[in-house]
Amino acid sequence: MSLNAPRLDDRTFQDLVQEAMRRIPLYTPEWTDHNLSDPGITLVELFAWLMDIMLYRLNRVPDRHYVKFMELIGMKLREPEYAKTWVTLWLSAPQENPIEIPNATEISTTRTETESAIIFSTDDAYTIRLAKLSYVVTSAARDSQGQSRKYVEQNMKRLTAGFEGFYIFAESPQAGDAVYFGFEEDLSYHILGLELDLDLAAGAGIDPTQPPYSWQSLSSVAPVEWTNCEIDMDGTRGFNMAGLARVHLPKMVRGEIDGRRAYWVRVRLNDPQPGVPTYRRSPLVKKVGSGSWGITVPATHASIIKDEFLGRSDGTPGQKFYLQNKPVLPRLPDEQLTVRISNDQLEIWTEVPDFAGSTSEDRHYTIDSASGEIRLGPVMPQRDGTIRRYGMIPPRNSALLMRRYRHGGGAIGNVQKGALNVLKTSIPYIDRVSNRQPATGGLDQESIEDAKLRVPGYLRSLGRAVTAPDFEYLALQSVPGEIARVFALQPPNSAIGEVKVLLIPRVVNPNGYITPEDLQLQEPMIKLVREFLDMRRLITTRLDVTSPAYYWVQTRIRLRASTHFDPERVREAVEKRLFEYLNPIIGGPRGKGWPFGRDLHISDLIACLQTVPGIDFIRSIELFPVTWSGGKAQRGEAVQTLEIVAHGVVASHRHDITIDRD
């Protein structure tokens, strides 16, 4: 049981007023009007208010002591974390020359009367390259004699001039048919546009709003992997009319198709799906053109300040200067303090966490990220009576400048999809900008209460990953704010020393319906966690950082609503409760996420629904496992108990809820 910080004085404002009024007869017996309208009572309340402020500051002293105690064991309050996202910049039209996107390009939300703009900046300089099409290769899954795949390269000169066409798929289309477009340059994260001249309604038999093909790009050659591309627009109506098709390309690699090395994008005919009609005959392309329509780049919640003047040195130790903007984000290698002694003499100083190891010849300084305070080295008296200087002191009247720093961060940066829509840095030919996914990872500075909860884990692990709780604690510290849950275990029947660390990412709205895409781990996050744990694990430990096995479930429920309750509201409340209970992040009996390896029973659902107001009685409950294939959910047979493996956890799919009115 933790101990609460003591209140050195627990008197409230009202206690102070009443205490003063009780002393009035003792000191001024002639004062008999104690009503609130009396000016003397107003003065009593004024001084009680001032005393209340002093007591509040006094009661803050234990918290400050706690921070100092944390520093003694090597802990500090965690600095604010900045949110990250990907920002897409669309060109007004493909250009004849590459377009440069400068480093620190700023994109922001729309400023309103009540809210300031939230500014993001790009992490590096990028180039929108030219999408020069070098090869077009068609491929049928099997030829007319039933032989295996055969590639046919098209004549590019005649194709781009419109003198020669080709069928996108085999004349009698079948699953696996594809057309490959090869490009000279790496178009990773570009918006690729293909201007296609097609025969009108040549690809008859499909639903243009649900075409039976996928755009994919080559993302790995060993082994060969193709990654689906997000469609930006399809003006061809499923290859049934001339128009522009635009797709967002993921990371690409150079590979070989039919002996030709290039960066490849393909359109592949999907396997048959229920309710998705396919082509009766192949679309015919008569002419093709290509162009780059934009790029998607990483951005962080940060504004960049350059060459900020801090002040002039007075030549004394322990000087303090303050940056104009805060909180200050973690510094990059080129973000340093400079001291200008004269026009031709400039010194670069180095940031350190503290002055414990600094000597009088070291150009060291510290920064408090929360307050923006820059502190220079102090002097301290020693036991022998001498004075020791910790860090150099800038010469008197020298100018101090912060060469570059970034400020921002905090939970306010976790903006929704599409919120970043203003380009603050002028770039020619850019038509519009937007973030196609929410920004995540932004955290405010750690509070003292949160730090108190972190101290036991820090003392237990001491930065070393030995036990399962050590792995879980350190994994959460590796990417603060991006992981919702961690579970470490040794898989059954595994070799000694093998540890599996299961990560569940944080989602924007864990209380609602969660999709498989929301729970998908990004490779950069997995890499960061693995590298962080690798530096702290035992040399004999084999580490596997991955996602848990998600057991998706669906229910079919019939119930009767109580009198005077709106049936539709009862249905919504039941669905909301199921989303919260069958939830890997906030679900389960204790509301801390469905326990790993815990089976799901019908009785669990009955107990869960007992807390929903407006239910008269439940007629029936059925439980179905759900599997995902090709982005489609497939419901299995009804079960009484869903068995979960040790590394598995339950997640909720949509539910079928019927409210009887009689």
Give CA–CA dist 76/404, Å, rounded. 24
CB atoms within 10 A of CB 121: 22
Give CA–CA dist 40/46, Å, rounded. 10
Tokens of 399: 């100018």
Establish whether domains 133-293 and 463-546 are of one fold. no
pLDDT in tens, 53-112: 887 876 666 666 777 777 777 777 888 888 889 999 999 999 999 999 998 899 999 998
Which DSSP state fits 443? B
- Which residue is listed with tokens 């530096």? 535
pLDDT in tens, 324-350: 998 888 888 889 999 998 888 889 999
Q: What is the mean pLDDT of residues 299-321?
A: 92
For strands 106-108 and 422-423, give the pairing.
Answer: antiparallel
pLDDT at 146: 52
Residues facing residue 285 across a β-bridge: 166, 198
C-alpha dist (Å) from residue 169 to 164, 200, 270, 284, 500: 16, 16, 11, 9, 44
Give the closest residue to 656 by CA, choosing from 553, 543, 509: 553
pLDDT at 148: 55
The alpha carbon of residue 399 and the mean position of all alpha carbons in its chain are separated, in whole angstroms, by 40
Q: What is the mean pLDDT of residues 139-147?
A: 63
Q: What is the largest CA-CA distance in the chain?
A: 118
**What CATH number labels 463-546?**
3.30.300
Give CA–CA dist 370/329, Å, rounded. 9
Provide the pLDDT confidence category of residue 3 given band limits of 50, 70 and 90.
very low
pLDDT at 159: 81
pLDDT in tens, 550-563: 999 999 999 998 88
Q: What is the mean pLDDT of residues 7-27?
A: 83
Maximum average pLDDT range among 146-150, 445-449, 506-510, 572-576: 572-576
Maximum average pLDDT range among 62-76, 266-280, 568-582: 568-582
CB atoms within 10 A of CB 193: 23
pLDDT at 333: 85
Classify residue 267 as exposed, middle or buried by CB count within 10 Å of its CB (0-12, 13-18, 19+).
Answer: buried
pLDDT at 459: 78
pLDDT at 1: 35
Residues 340, 310: contact at Cβ < 8 Å? no
Query: Is the pTM for the entire model greater than 0.85?
Result: no
pLDDT in tens, 170-199: 878 888 889 999 999 999 999 999 999 988
Share of the chain above pLDDT 90, in %: 47
pLDDT in tens, 369-426: 888 999 999 998 888 888 889 999 999 999 999 999 999 888 899 999 999 999 998 9
Provide the pLDDT confidence category of residue 9 given band limits of 50, 70 and 90.
low
Write down the domain spans for the chain. 13-59, 133-293, 304-408, 463-546, 549-660
pLDDT in tens, 215-251: 999 988 878 889 999 999 999 988 888 999 999 999 9
Residue 660 pLDDT > 60, yes or no? yes
pLDDT at 147: 56
pLDDT at 482: 84
Give the closest residue to 532 by CA, choosing from 465, 447, 451, 578: 465
Write the DSSP string, 306-358: EEEEEEE--S-TT-EEE-SS-SBPPPPTT--EEEEEETTEEEE-EE-S-STT-
pLDDT in tens, 246-269: 999 999 999 999 889 999 999 999
Mean pLDDT of the chain: 88
Provide the pLDDT confidence category of residue 144 given band limits of 50, 70 and 90.
low
pLDDT in tens, 154-171: 888 888 777 778 888 887
Maximum average pLDDT range among 488-492, 511-515, 547-551: 547-551
CB atoms within 10 A of CB 603: 11
CB atoms within 10 A of CB 396: 10
Q: Which CATH architecture has domain 133-293?
A: Sandwich (2.60)
Give the closest residue to 89 by CA, choosing from 186, 190, 188: 190
Residues 166, 153: contact at Cβ < 8 Å? no
Share of the chain above pLDDT 70, in %: 95
